[in-house]
Amino acid sequence: MPESIPPSEPVKPRSLFNNWISAIGGVLAVAALFSFALFVWMDFTQGEKNPYLGIITYLIVPGILIIGITLGFFGAWAQWRWQIKHAGVTSDKWRLDFSDQQHRRALVIFGTGGVIFLMLTAFGSYQTYHYAESTQFCGEVCHRAMNPELTAYKRGAHARVDCVECHVGSGAQWFIKAKINGTHQLIAYTLNNYKRPIATPLKNLRPAQDTCEKCHWPEKFHGNIDVDAEHFLSDKKNTPYNIRMLMRVNMTQPGSPIGGIHWHVNADSRVEYFAADEKRQDIPWMRVTNLKNGTSHVYRTEAFKGEPVAAQIRVMDCMDCHNRPAHVFPTANEVVEHAMAAGALSMQLPALKRVAVQAMTQKEITTTADAPPKIASFLEAKYAGAPELPATIVEVQRLYAETIFPDRKADWRVYPNNIGHKDWLGCFRCHDEKHKTAAGESVKANDCKSCHIILTQGKGSDLQALSAQGQDFKHPGGDLDPDLTCSDCHNGGIQK
């Protein structure tokens, strides 16, 4: 049998994309497309929990895709240039030749590598996604800027609630806002030009119905709550002074009229207000609407004459009182009292309560770098030779480090807590007897018992007697002047 010689095929002109550069670009692009599909799917199914997934999906992965495609075309262009220069030359080292065994082997290795790469990307994507969702990522890695919040958060009742539960959450509109915002933040963080302190109130937080009320149902609110504050006075003996109060949070029994502190968020009424300042501390106008019959009444301060613009009116929700639910910046006064109650600071050192607060807030302390030695020398000057001195220095330095964050300019002085009225105006922003309706009625403030009753106060045996109808407050700092509010004197540091 005569051997059949295959007819020589006409040589196909070589494709411009037949070169290694384009091949690598192609693999990159395919891998990116693959990851993109995976990410989009993840983003749609679980993305609302994680703004950073958006950054990866819509910025980084498309970036790789573009690089891949660009490389593909660059290879083709380089090939075209090469062919013009070397007309007639058919083989070159860039060319993929399928009849060449070496090339075939290289291609198999490259292809297998590509597949492994794809699988790793898929796995990596999934891991990255989970990581970016974690509190560790929010608070430590990406957001070293947010270390103060992380420190405060770990102490709080929400330490097991992920940052994203309150800060991102579900809902299409907020989802997109968070995406855009997350990208902004990433850029600001990378350029290191974010605001210090980070400005509050946050404007892009979702309404409380979508965050807080996912876990705390208004229908399931607590009854009254027993709050016990342990104070120490600034005298030589660091005299303890406890105040135990019953907070009238929710007096609603089924069928009874709505009342108590959580009245502001009950379903039948709407409280709105206008704040004249960014921090929402100066509230000259508010309106209460009865949603059942549509009637409403306005309270205003005497000085405020006009009407607020509709866009500036805010409906009161949980976060107007609980504005620091997860990461409270406690005051220097509070952390020192807490350390004394816990026994970490010795009651034996005369006036330590006052001195420790002064050590933390002294004017000379401005930077992180030299705060610890300044605290040490401040305490040494007061208590030279005392056996408790070394331990006291260590403890006050620790309190300082966990309370005051100079590199982010963050502490209680810039982040007011609106829940009470001692160190900030809080409830007294509105409950100050100065806001009046046209008929001259005001929101109660001097009626101390409308919000809480003092069950017991003082020290030692004073605390044994509980009073059901509530005691009058015995102010340890002397008689209260009705013309002053608490925060005129109390500011979390040394009383003015």
- Nearest CA to 231 among 357, 340, 392? 340
Q: Looking at beta carbons only, is 203 or 363 nearer to ligand HEC?
A: 203
**Residue of 445, 453, 458, 471 interacting with ligand HEC (CB under 6 A):** 445
Site string for ligand HEC, 167-196 (x = CB under 6 A): x-----------------------------
Q: HSE, CB side, 13 Å, CA atoms: give it for residue 236.
A: 0
Q: How far is the CB of 114 from ligand HEC (least distance, A)?
A: 38
Q: Please give the structure tokens belonging to residue 114.
A: 């590509």
Site residues for ligand HEC, 44-73, by CB under 6 A, read none
**Residue of 166, 246, 360, 399 interacting with ligand HEC (CB under 6 A):** 166
Q: How far is the CB of 438 from ligand HEC (least distance, A)?
A: 13
d(CA 157, CA 40): 34
Please answer whether residues 62 and 32 qualify as being in contact, where contact means their C-beta atoms are separated by less than 8 angstroms: yes
Q: How far is the CB of 453 from ligand HEC (least distance, A)?
A: 10
**Residue of 56, 96, 142, 451 interacting with ligand HEC (CB under 6 A):** 451
d(CA 421, CA 486): 7
206 binds ligand HEC (CB under 6 A): no
d(CA 133, CA 169): 11
CA dihedral 79, 84, 86, 88 (to 10 degrees): 100
**Residue of 66, 109, 187, 480 interacting with ligand HEC (CB under 6 A):** 480
**Burial of 315 per CB tally in 10 Å (0-12, 13-18, 19+):** middle
**Sign of the CA dihedral 129, 133, 136, 141?**
positive
CB atoms within 10 A of CB 70: 13
Q: How far is the CB of 470 from ligand HEC (least distance, A)?
A: 10
d(CA 54, CA 182): 8
326 binds ligand HEC (CB under 6 A): yes
Q: Looking at beta carbons only, is 107 or 489 nearer to ligand HEC?
A: 489
Q: How far is the CB of 124 from ligand HEC (least distance, A)?
A: 24
Peptide bond into 387 cis (omega under 30): no
**Residue of 21, 65, 132, 321 interacting with ligand HEC (CB under 6 A):** 321
**Residue of 95, 264, 434, 459 interacting with ligand HEC (CB under 6 A):** 264
**Residue of 72, 426, 458, 492 interacting with ligand HEC (CB under 6 A):** 426
Site residues for ligand HEC, 458-477, by CB under 6 A, read 473, 475-477
212 binds ligand HEC (CB under 6 A): yes
Interacting span for ligand HEC (CB under 6 A) from 29-37, 58-66, 325-333, 377-385: 325-333
Q: Looking at beta carbons only, is 64 or 298 nearer to ligand HEC?
A: 298
d(CA 5, CA 142): 67
Q: In one letter, which amino acid is 482?
A: P
260 binds ligand HEC (CB under 6 A): yes
d(CA 212, CA 325): 10
Site residues for ligand HEC, 115-154, by CB under 6 A, read 135, 138-139, 143, 146, 149-150, 153
Q: Please give the structure tokens belonging to residue 138.
A: 């929010």
Q: How far is the CB of 187 from ligand HEC (least distance, A)?
A: 16
Site residues for ligand HEC, 282-311, by CB under 6 A, read 283, 286, 288, 299
427 binds ligand HEC (CB under 6 A): yes
**Sign of the CA dihedral 106, 107, 112, 116?**
positive
- Nearest CA to 367 among 404, 328, 329? 404
**Residue of 213, 282, 380, 402 interacting with ligand HEC (CB under 6 A):** 213
- Nearest CA to 373 among 393, 353, 351, 399? 393
**Residue of 360, 404, 452, 458 interacting with ligand HEC (CB under 6 A):** 452
**Residue of 243, 360, 375, 404 interacting with ligand HEC (CB under 6 A):** 243
Please answer whether residues 105 and 47 qualify as being in contact, where contact means their C-beta atoms are separated by less than 8 angstroms: no
408 binds ligand HEC (CB under 6 A): no
Q: Please give the structure tokens belonging to residue 324.
A: 């620091």
Q: How far is the CB of 311 from ligand HEC (least distance, A)?
A: 17
If phi over 0 gives left and psi between -120 and 50 gives alpha, with beta otherwise, what is residue 315? beta
- Nearest CA to 490 among 422, 443, 428, 416? 422
**Residue of 318, 352, 453, 455 interacting with ligand HEC (CB under 6 A):** 318
14 binds ligand HEC (CB under 6 A): no
Q: In one letter, which amino acid is 110?
A: F
Q: Looking at beta carbons only, is 352 or 376 nearer to ligand HEC?
A: 352
